[in-house]
């Protein structure tokens, strides 16, 4: 009589017999989940013990992952990481992709630098929570002896590694994720910094002095792009990538309405492509239109060519002798380099970086008009729950902060004029006296910043007289 064909996961009749040595042995046939058949045999001191032992062995065999055609339990961690990166890179090309190419590049860098050198040659079935924890411990220990503590890096690479192993579970190469048990140090709470109004004045002065110093020297003629870029960041709170991606079609400087900048793109670095203009912002909330202050309008008018087109970059990579420009934006790396040169010339090395300008704008606006307006200006998502997700049409016009940011510049200029004239007690114009008094209030109010911040007045509507508008004194403590 032919033996009954077993289905995957089934076992045959368990046969039990006593061996010549006196032990009891139980054995049976088992068809694994991949269709292959094997024999399972165990011994015991009694027939019942042998039966229980073989039943435990059957359960263990059926729970062992079998893997897929792409990944198996014996595959190495390095292969699993490479397959995950390749899968993400493919997904980044989908319509409405779940992940951006630059994010894939960052994951690849993290795994290549901090995972593969340590665990890359281990097999997936050799990973245990202890092995994974030892890897993180070694990474943190390495940070103790270096210039950076690697706490943030450890958390980031742990998150990426968990996703690598989650994919291995999908491919039936693992049954559980040992990286789930990893413990990493707590991250430090962010401590945002902001420039003072005097620092802002010194910065604007430094970039203009640097631009002037280039006149008459060999090489490309000064373009005024660095001072304009700094003023755009100070007048809008934009990221440097968003500033460099601006086209003249995004800028409205007409006299018959409010001057605005529409933010709809950013510059990103993508492996194999270099720095490119990405036709969407970092997040959906980043799409916004910003009313810009007077000093930003003047800076943009100073660099605007006589003839512009909507697809012409505001900050082109190159301007030709005949007045035309390359239809390619400057890279963020170039702007950072020229900013460092300007700060070196002004003996301010390392004092300012582009993101500090964004923090400065956020701090100034938050203390004058509230955190919600600062978040909307910066393009951050404001959580309104189900109501916001499903019922409220999102307003893409950011709150009008132009007067607040104009004051950021004017207060610094008034302070500089007062110092240059020998003190605030000197005779100044009415406007200068008002600004100098504000600066005095700023200085005197720093000791009571917390109390005054709690009593911040509401912003005056656009068009109100400057002297009728009380301002927050403790702006940058």
Checking if the pLDDT of 231 tops 90, the result is yes
Q: Sort 38 into a burial class: Cβ within 10 Å, 0-12 / 13-18 / 19+.
A: exposed
In a domain, 194, yes or no: no
pLDDT in tens, 337-368: 999 999 999 999 999 999 999 999 999 999 99
Task: Supply the CATH number for residue 100's domain.
Answer: 1.10.150.130
Q: Residues 48-53: what's their mean pLDDT?
A: 95
Q: Are residues 54 and 111 both part of a single domain?
A: no
Average pLDDT, the chain: 84
Q: How many domains does the chain have?
A: 4
Q: Are residues 417 and 456 in the same domain?
A: yes
Mean pLDDT, residues 24-41 taken together: 89
The last residue of a domain, from among 135, 151, 181: 181
Closest by CA to 76, choosing from 127, 120, 132, 128, is: 120
In a domain, 474, yes or no: no
What pLDDT is stored for residue 458 in this prediction?
A: 38
The winner for highest mean pLDDT among 306-320, 381-395, 425-439 is 306-320
Give the residue with greater pLDDT, 339 vs 394: 339
Among 46-55, 175-184, 321-330, 429-438, whose mean pLDDT is lowest?
429-438
Domain membership of residue 83 as a residue range: 77-181
Domain annotation covers residue 408:
yes
Hey, what's the torsion of the CAs at 83, 85, 90, 95, to 10 degrees?
Answer: 140
Nearest to 175 by CA among 4, 8, 89, 59: 59
- pTM of structure: 0.74
Whether the pLDDT of residue 460 is over 80: the answer is no
Which pLDDT does position 393 carry in this prediction? 56
Whether residue 209 is found in the same domain as residue 348? yes
Q: State whether 175 and 211 are in the same domain.
A: no
Mean per-residue pLDDT, 288-308: 94
User: Among 67-81, 270-284, 345-359, 461-475, where is mean pLDDT lowest?
Assistant: 461-475
Domain annotation covers residue 395: no
Q: How confident is the model at residue 51 (pLDDT cuts 50, 70, 90)?
A: very high
25, β-bridge pairs: 17, 43
Say whether both 88 and 110 belong to one domain: yes
d(CA 115, CA 158): 9
Confidence of residue 397 (pLDDT cuts 50, 70, 90): confident
- Confidence tier at 107 by pLDDT (50, 70, 90): very high
What's the average model confidence in pLDDT over 211-231?
Answer: 87
pLDDT digit string, tens, across residues 426-458: 443 444 443 434 433 433 333 333 333 333 333
126 shares a domain with 44:
no
Report the percent of the chain where pLDDT is more than 70.
Answer: 83
358 inside domain: yes
CATH number, domain with residue 340? 1.10.443.10
- CA 363, 450, 294, 424: dihedral to nearest 10 degrees? -130
The answer for residues whose C-beta is within 8 angstroms of residue 425's C-beta and 6 or more apart is: none
Would you state the pLDDT for residue 474? Answer: 32
Query: Is the pLDDT confidence value at 230 over 90?
Result: yes
In a domain, 390, yes or no: no
Mean pLDDT for the stretch of residues 80-102: 96
* Mean pLDDT for the stretch of residues 297-322: 88
- Is residue 46 scored above 60 in pLDDT? yes
Res. 423 pLDDT band, cuts 50 70 90: low
Q: Give the model's pLDDT for residue 256.
A: 78
Q: Give residue-wise pLDDT tens across range 117-126.
A: 999 999 999 9
The string over 429-463, giving b where at least 16 C-beta atoms fall within 10 Å of a residue's C-beta and e elsewhere, is eeebbebbebbebbeebeeebeebbeebeebeeee
If asked whether residues 86 and 146 sit together in one domain, one would say: yes
Alpha helices in 184-224 (DSSP H): 197-213
Has residue 6 been placed in a domain? no
**Within-domain flag for 8:** no
For residues 229 and 266, state if they share a domain.
yes
Most confident range, picked from 150-164, 250-264, 453-467: 150-164
Same domain for 133 and 206?
A: no
Q: Are residues 208 and 354 in the same domain?
A: yes
What is the pLDDT averaged over residues 203-231?
Answer: 89
DSSP letters for 372-412: HHHHHHHTPPPP-HHHHHHT-PPP-BPP--HHHHHHHHHHH
| Residues 364 and 449 occupy one common structural domain | no
**Residue 322, pLDDT score:** 63
For the chain, give the percent of residues with pLDDT over 90.
64
pLDDT given for residue 320 in this prediction: 63
Of 230 and 448, more confident: 230
Instruction: Decide if pLDDT at 188 tops 90.
Output: no
Q: Which of 80-89, 104-113, 243-252, 452-461 has the lowest mean pLDDT?
A: 452-461
Say if residue 214 is in the same domain as residue 324.
yes
Q: Alpha-carbon distance 193 to 10, whole Å? A: 65
CA distance 281 to 84: 25
């Amino acid at each position: 009589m032919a033996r009954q064909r077993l289905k995957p996961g089934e076992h045959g009749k368990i046969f039990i017999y006593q061996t010549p040595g006196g032990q009891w042995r139980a054995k049976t046939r088992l068809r694994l989940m991949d269709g292959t058949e094997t024999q399972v045999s165990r011994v015991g001191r009694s027939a019942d013990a042998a039966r229980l032992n073989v039943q435990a062995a059957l359960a263990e065999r059926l729970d062992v992952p079998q893997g897929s055609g792409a990944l198996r339990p014996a595959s190495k961690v390095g292969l699993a990481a490479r397959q995950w990166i390749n899968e993400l890179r493919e997904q980044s090309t989908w319509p409405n992709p779940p992940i951006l190419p630059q994010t894939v590049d960052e994951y690849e860098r993290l795994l290549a630098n901090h995972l593969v050198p340590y665990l890359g040659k281990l097999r997936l079935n050799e990973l245990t929570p202890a092995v994974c924890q030892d890897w993180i411990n070694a990474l943190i220990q390495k940070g103790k002896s270096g210039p950076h503590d690697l706490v943030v890096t450890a958390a980031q690479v742990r998150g990426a590694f968990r996703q690598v192993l989650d994919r291995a579970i999908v491919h039936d190469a693992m049954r559980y994720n040992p990286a789930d048990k990893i413990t990493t140090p707590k991250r430090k709470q962010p401590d945002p910094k902001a420039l003072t109004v005097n620092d802002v004045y010194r910065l604007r002065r430094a970039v203009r002095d640097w631009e002037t110093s280039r006149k008459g020297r060999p090489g490309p003629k000064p373009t005024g792009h660095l001072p304009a870029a700094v003023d755009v960041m100070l007048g809008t709170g934009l990221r440097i990538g968003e500033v460099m991606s601006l086209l003249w079609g995004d800028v409205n400087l007409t006299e018959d309405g409010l001057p605005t900048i529409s933010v709809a793109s950013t510059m990103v670095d993508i492996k194999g492509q270099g720095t490119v203009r990405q036709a969407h912002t970092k997040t959906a909330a980043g799409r916004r239109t910003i009313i810009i202050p007077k000093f930003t309008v003047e800076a943009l008018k100073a660099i605007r060519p006589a003839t512009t087109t909507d697809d012409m970059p505001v900050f082109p990579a190159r301007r030709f002798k005949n007045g035309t420009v390359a239809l390619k934006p400057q890279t963020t790396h170039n702007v950072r380099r020229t900013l460092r040169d300007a700060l070196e010339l002004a003996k301010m090395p390392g004092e300012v970086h582009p993101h500090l300008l964004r923090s400065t704008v956020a701090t100034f606006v938050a203390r004058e008009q509230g955190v919600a307006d600062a978040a909307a200006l910066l393009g951050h998502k404001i959580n309104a729950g189900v109501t916001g997700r499903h019922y409220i049409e999102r307003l893409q016009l950011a709150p009008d902060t132009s007067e607040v940011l104009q004051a950021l510049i004017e207060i610094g200029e008034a302070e500089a004029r007062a110092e240059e004239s020998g003190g605030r007690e000197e005779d100044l114009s009415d406007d200068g006296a008002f600004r100098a008094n504000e600066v005095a209030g700023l200085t005197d109010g720093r000791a009571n910043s917390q109390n005054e911040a709690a009593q911040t007045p509401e912003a005056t509507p656009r068009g109100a007289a400057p002297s009728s508008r009380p301002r927050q004194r403790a702006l940058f403590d």
